[in-house]
Every structure is written in structure tokens, then in C-alpha cells.
Structure 1
Amino acid sequence: MDQSSVSADKPKTTKESRRALISSFLGSTVEYYDFLLYGSAAGLVFPYLFFSDKMDPTLGMVLSFVILLAGYVTRPIGGVLFGHFGDRFGRKNMLFITLMMMGLVSIGIGLMPTYDTIGVAAPLLLVLLRIVQGLAVGGEWAGATLMAAEHVQEKNRGLAASIAVTGGPTGSVLATLILGLFAGLPQEQFLSWGWRIPFLLSAALVVIGLYMRYRVSESPDFVEAQKSGQIHTGVPIVRVLTKYPMSSLYGILAAAGPLFMQSLLAIFMVPYVVESGAVDRQEALMMLTASSFVHIFAIPFFAGLSDRFGRRPVMLVGAGISIALVFPMFALFNSGSFWLIALAFMVGNPIIQASMYGPIGAFLAEKFETQDRYTGVSLTFQLGSLVGAGTAPLMATWLMNLGNGGGTSNIAWYFILLIVLAALSVYLSKETRNRAERTALRAEESIDDKVLGQ
């Protein structure tokens, strides 16, 4: 039988499946709380604390976004590293390590001295912590998604994988909500100590996540592959690049478009609407929090549709929705109206982003066989994240200042380009929903034909 998917008749206990889903969701939430908290602080705090006060504020913000990008650059490296050991020795232990790394980094950022205290060592230390953070997230996303997807029957794989994926917006809700509460402090107090508390609170979340990860069992798919002797002793990344070159490319491009929108809203648009004067810092963060909360439910909704109708149809319709709504979304952002800006966040996250992003976990997982899946999913998603999310703040800043008067229209056209490439990649990909069931059916038909022919 094709090992690219879970067999249709493989026993999956309800208790273990539930535990795996909860563990993946909580672990992913903690990871992305820490990772996205940095993104929120990059535009609101770091330019003022970790660079010389003689530096132009715009340059300080650009440098903060460059350091932000460093985390995205190291995410594929972390994905390949943890994917290698995850495909060789199992998913569970790797996820325990990534969560521990993430928690330690966030505590370190919360305790970091500023430029006024240690000078140029401050931004250098920030770069180092961001790199370690990127390595941890690089191994987290694929592992958490696979632990959820590989613990359930294939007919529910899209929805199960999306449970881990919703850790992203859940982490964003927590990050922006907690940071937003402290953002209401007077500017001096917020920059002095208020912004540090959300990072330090990460310790409590990590303890809960580690406890859940300790209790979950190893992936049934991986255990079965081990028993059947399908786990290779070679290098998984080599097999992925040689065995799945086009599948990997399609996965990268399919992820880049929706991930660009996610990063744009979380990192660039908050300071953008604050600087416009339409809303204050706390209001903008609360708008993002509200849209991220709805996003938590939108992702499994679109993932559930992909379980019923297929990954390709849902993602292609999502691409059409994204293209149709991106210009209206930016018009709302530029309206100067409190409620219309809040609506813009709602259009961007739960509708534009989720419509293509919801099925992405299952879409990527089903492209690779079990013994190569952790590496394959890590590589494709994290490279897509680098191309889409990692470059989003810098690209948006550059596009806004092209000098052609296009402003946010330039960003909209660039997003449309990414979505067109994503849609083309999805269209050229094979439909993988219920792939194992179809493979099993073909095998049974082949046996019946042989019996009848005797």
C-alpha cells in the first residue's frame, strides 16, 4: 500500500487522537505566541530600545524587520534539522525540544538589556535569540501538524491538521491581547517594563505545553513505518529533493501567498494604521486580536471543506476570494474610520488568509511518504514562510515607498502575484484527499482480478 497517507483501516483510538490534537494545538499555540510576540514588538518597541537614539526611527524599524527576517531565514534550517531526526527517530521527542527552546528564548528576550545599557551588543544579542527562535519554529510546525494528522483516520485529516495550524492565530490572539493590555500604559512605562511582561509570561505556557507533549504517544504512522522497515538510514533531505522536487516546489509556492497576508496583517499593518492617526496602538492591537480570534474558527472551517470536497477545489476557490477582496481590504485600511479598519482586519485574516491556508497542513502532508514527511513538510512550509511571511514587512515597506504614488496598491498587486503562483501550484498538484482509500481499493481490485483470472 502507498505509505503517503494513513491507511483507511488503521486503528486510531479516540483517546490518543484527542490527546494528540490537544497537545499539537497547545504546543503550536505556545510556539507562535512566542514567535509572533516578537513580530508585534518589532514595530512598536525594538526600534526605540535596541538601536541608538541618534538613528532615524524609520531605519530602526527597518533594522527590526531585518532581524525579524533572520528568524524566517533560519526556519527552513530548523525544519530540515528537526525533520531529519523526526523522520529517523520519531516526532514526539523533537517537539519536546522545540518547545523548550522557544520558551527559553522568549524569557531571554524579556530579560534583555537595551542599547543604552550594553550598546551594539543589544541588537546582536537580539539577532542571536531570533535565530534560535527561528530554528525552533522551523521544527515545530510540521511536527505538530503531523502528530495531529497522523493520529486520526484519513477522512478527517484536513480538519485534524488544521487544529495544529490554528495554534498560529491562537498564539497571535494571546500575543496581541496581552501586549495590547500593557500597550495601554503610558509610553515611558510601556517601553521601560510593560513590553517585557508578555515575554516572561511565556514560561507558564511552556510548562503546560511540555506536560501535554510528555503525555502524548508517538505517531501511529511512524510506528507502523518503523515496524515494516520503511525508515531509511540515509539523509531525508536528500530523498525529499530527489524524489519530490516538483511536489516540494508546489508546496512552497502554495504556502507563500497566504503566509504573506498573515505576516502583513500581524506585523506591518498595525504600525501602519497607528501612524495614520486613525487608531491608537492599543486599538490596533485589539483589532488584530479580534480578527485572529475569528481566524481560529475560520481555518478548521475551510479545512473541513477540504475533507469533503478536496484540497484543490477549496484552495483554488480561496485564491479567487483572495484576489477579489485584497483591494477592498486596503480601501478599508485607508478609510480613516475606526470600524472600517476593524472590518479590514476581519476581511484579511478569517476570509482572505484562511480560505487558502485552512487546508495547507493536509495539502503538504499528503505530498510525502511517512518516512520523508517531517522533512518534506518542514522544508516546503518553512521555505514558503520565508518567501511569503518573512519578507512581507520589508517588501511592504519598499513597495509603499516606490515613489509611483501607488501606496498600498503596490502591495495589493504583489500579493495578487503571489496568489496567482499559489493557485497555479495547487492546480498542477494532484488531489490527495482519501488517497490511501483509493490506493487500498485499487489494490483490492487488483487482487480480485487475479483471483477471477485463475
Structure 2
Amino acid sequence: MSTEPPVPPTAARTSSRTAGREAGKVAFASFVGTAVEWYDFFLYGASAALVFGALFFPTDNALVSQLAALGTFTVGFVARPLGGIVAGHFGDRIGRKRMLVLSLMLMGVATVGVGLLPTYAAVGVAAPALLVLLRVGQGLAVGAEWGGAALMAVEHAPPNKRALYGSAPQLGVPAGAILANLVLLTVVQATGDAFMTWGWRIPFLLSVVLVVIGMFVRRRVTESPLFTEAAAAHPEPAQRRNPLVTVVREHPWAAVRGMFASVASTSWGYVILVFILSYGPTSVGYSRNTMLTLIILSSLLQVGAMLYAGRVADRIGRRKVALIGSGLQVIVAVAFFPAFDSGTVWLALTVCLIASVGLSAQYGPLPALLSEQFPTEVRYTGVSVSYMFGNILGGGLVPLVGTALVAATGTSFSVGLYMLGLSLVTAVAVLATRETVDDDLSAVASSSRP
């Protein structure tokens, strides 16, 4: 029989309120930091679609220049798994919070560096080489960022609100896209013809202000309570097994399912946020400002849709919500480009909004879904590997593959079929994943033995 006195109800309620406030603060910090990181990341993607081809990869063939510029965008995705693996290793050993602070610093340095780069006309081949190097830095930063932000939000959340709180870092993606495109739209209007010479640098240099704000917010949150408990069992990091080796040996199918479950939502995100920004003006005839406006409106819808998806996923389960998203994606995959190619702005906006709802249904609950597949001791590594490799297979290749498909087939419908295939792949992966809405996150099968 326990001799410990019972916890007074008032003290229990006070403790619960304190934990709730801290969970909300952590969710907000995850959102702010992630929004800053994705502002930087999407700013690069938009600039690759709009200006980098001419400034850093000048050729007599505009398509070749465009493909080269979009290729550097893809390089960032290739670097992301390495960032996720390294940050996951140390995040599972010394804590999530430290990795989040470091990732934000790295992103800020890389983004401001892009804004200071000389162009090909000034230094020749050194310009694209330095651009690729800084893009790798951005990829490493985002790879390190996502897993830690997702875990901090999910591991602090009340058990019955993990998907809702976990959607907070997901909101940083559309918020970062909104901010990046608003800044671009403003700078384009303000600088006019000078945008292609020096105006494009302004949004990159402004990143330093956002990074300072993000650092201030993130340094004020507490470490994940689940990590603190797991670390207490083995105080010395050397006593804990290598997280990546443990994931590969003991949780390989969880990582594979998570990887393919991440493919479709990120792919559709980059169709809307990057691919159409290049494709719309060059192939259909939409103005650059029209495309930026469509992206901003689609991103605004995603913010509300992801929050709602997280809330519903806590009630009916992650799988059901994600599969609803897959159904919408299959429908919109067939209709997206015929409507977009019509040249009618309201039709283009309609399919972008429907696609945004579909991807939000999958993307909002994704942090909770992935986090619930791995034990605390290797969770940072597990979710990072799953998500980042899923991004390579999906989102990272979409702008490049989409541009190449249009050039090879002469029709954008081929891109729609490509997106249909990715949507079906994710649906199968979600169906193969066990529902985890009622799981105790601290009791997920442990791999903590030395």
C-alpha cells in the first residue's frame, strides 16, 4: 500500500493549468520558429522560379536556365535527411530544444548569405556554386528543424489533443509561405524593373529580423517532459544506443510507412507553393502578381484547414482524416491542370483551394501520426528520417519533375497523373499504419535498454 499522501484537488488543477499553459507556449514557439524557417525556405523556392535562372544560370535556353535554378531548390531536399539524422541523433541524446535553436541560427545565416551573393555576371561559376552551398545549408537547417518542432509540440500536448497541438508547427509552412510571398509581392511592386537587379535581395536580408524574433521565443520554452523522463533513466548519453541504428533495426517498417505517408501532402504543397509560380506565367500567361496572390490565398486556407484537421483527428483518428485528404487529392489530380490551364483565374484559384484542403487533412495530423510510431528515446530520429525522405520522394522533386514532364510530353496533364500516383502511394501507406489516437505516448514500446 502506498504511504504517499494524495495530491490535493486544487494542486492537481493548478498543475494541470500550468502544464496546459506551457503546452500552449511550446506550440506557439514551434509555430513561430517553423514559420521563420519556412519563410526562408519558400523565399528561395519562389526566387528560384522567378529570378535565379537568369541571374545565376544564364544560358541561351530559358528552359535550361529554369531547370538549373529549380535543381538547386531540389538540392535543399537532398540535404534535409542529413540534417534530420544529425539533429535527431543529438536531439535524442541531449535534448530537442538545443537542436531547434541551432537549426534556426543555421537557416538565418544561409538565407542572409543568399541575399549577399554576387551573381554570375560578377564572379562567373563561383556564383552558382556558392548558391548551391547555401541551399545545402538551408536544407540541413529544415531537416534539423521539423522533427524537433513537431516533437516539442506533441510531447508537451495533453494526451487527447496531440494532433491539434502537433499541427502548430505545420501551420508554420503556410504562414511562412504567406509571409514570403507577401514580402515578394511588396518588393516587386516597390522596386519595379530594379527587382531583377537588386530588389530580389531585400526579402533575404530581412530574414535576420525574423530569426532574432524566433530565437527569442524558442529560448523561453522548456525541454520536452517525455525526453526529460527518458534521459533520467540513462543520465549519460553514452549509455543510450545509437538512435539511427535502433530505428533501422527495430522500427524499419514504421519509418517506411511514415516516409510514404508524408509524400502526397508535401508534394501537393510544392505544386501550389513553387511549381505554379514558374509554370503559370511562362506556360499559361498568368501574371507574376496573380500567382503570388493565388499562393497567399491558398496558404491562408491551409492555416485554418490544418487546425481543423488536427482537431478532428483527435476525435475520429489520424487515419480517417488522412484518407479523406487522399480522396480529395485523387479527385483534384484529374481536374487541377485542365482548370489551371484554362487561363481563368477563379478556376485556378478553386482547384488550388481544393488541393489545399486535401493536403491539409494529411499534413495537419502528420506530427502526431509519426510521433506515435516511435519510442521517446529514438523519436526525433524516427520522425525526421520518415518525413525528410518522404520529402525527397515527394515535395523536393515536384518542381523539377513537373517542369521536365511538361517539356517532355507537351501537356501539364502528365503532372496531374504524377500527382495522382503520389496520392495513391500515401493512401496505401496510411491504410498500412495502425491507428494510434488512443495510445499513451510515454508507453510506446521502449528501446531504452543500454
1:436 is matched with: 440
> How far off is 1:228 after superposition?
2.9
Is 1:322–1:419's contact at 8 Å kept on the other side of the alignment?
yes
TM-score (ref. length: structure 2) = 0.92
Is 2:89–2:380's contact at 8 Å kept on the other side of the alignment?
yes
Greater mean deviation of Cα atoms: 330-339 or 142-151 = 330-339
1:310 is matched with: 317
Ranges in structure 1 where 5+ consecutive residues have no aligned partner: 1-8, 441-454
1:42 and 1:51 map into 2 onto residues whose CA distance is 10
1:98 is matched with: 103
Q: State how 1:322-337 maps to structure 2 within 5 Å.
A: 322-337=329-344
Are 1:381 and 2:397 matched, yes or no?
no
1:308 and 1:93 map into 2 onto residues whose CA distance is 33
Q: State how 1:32-431 maps to structure 2 within 5 Å.
A: 32-52=38-58, 54-185=59-190, 188-229=193-234, 232-349=239-356, 351-403=357-409, 405=410, 407-431=411-435
> How far off is 1:335 after superposition?
1.4
Is 1:329–1:347's contact at 8 Å kept on the other side of the alignment?
no
1:402 and 1:105 map into 2 onto residues whose CA distance is 34
TM-score (ref. length: structure 1) = 0.91
Give the SS at the match of 1:383. helix
Amino-acid identity (%)? 38
Count of residue pairs brought into register by the alignment: 428
> How far off is 1:14 after superposition?
2.2
> How far off is 1:195 after superposition?
1.1
2:4 is matched with: none
Give the SS at the match of 2:440. helix
> How far off is 1:286 after superposition?
1.3
Is 2:336–2:416's contact at 8 Å kept on the other side of the alignment?
no
1:187 and 1:17 map into 2 onto residues whose CA distance is 45
1:51 and 1:419 map into 2 onto residues whose CA distance is 33
1:61 and 1:325 map into 2 onto residues whose CA distance is 26
1:352 and 1:18 map into 2 onto residues whose CA distance is 26
Ranges in structure 2 where 5+ consecutive residues have no aligned partner: 1-12, 445-450
> How far off is 1:263 after superposition?
1.1
> How far off is 1:56 after superposition?
1.5
Greater mean deviation of Cα atoms: 271-280 or 392-401 = 271-280
Are 1:27 and 2:33 matched, yes or no?
yes
1:15 and 1:313 map into 2 onto residues whose CA distance is 29
Is 1:278–1:337's contact at 8 Å kept on the other side of the alignment?
no
Is 1:43–1:267's contact at 8 Å kept on the other side of the alignment?
yes
> How far off is 1:326 after superposition?
2.0
> How far off is 1:277 after superposition?
5.0
Is 1:82–1:94's contact at 8 Å kept on the other side of the alignment?
yes
> How far off is 1:182 after superposition?
1.6
> How far off is 1:185 after superposition?
4.8
Is 2:328–2:355's contact at 8 Å kept on the other side of the alignment?
no
Amino acid at match of 1:388: G
Cα offsets for 1:201-221 (capped at 9, x unmatched): 111111010001110000011
Is 1:321–1:355's contact at 8 Å kept on the other side of the alignment?
no
Cα offsets for 1:209-258 (capped at 9, x unmatched): 00011100000110111123397522110001111111110100110111
Is 2:43–2:180's contact at 8 Å kept on the other side of the alignment?
yes
1:247 and 1:399 map into 2 onto residues whose CA distance is 32
Greater mean deviation of Cα atoms: 185-194 or 135-144 = 185-194
> How far off is 1:130 after superposition?
0.3
Is 2:332–2:351's contact at 8 Å kept on the other side of the alignment?
no
1:15 is matched with: 21
2:5 is matched with: none
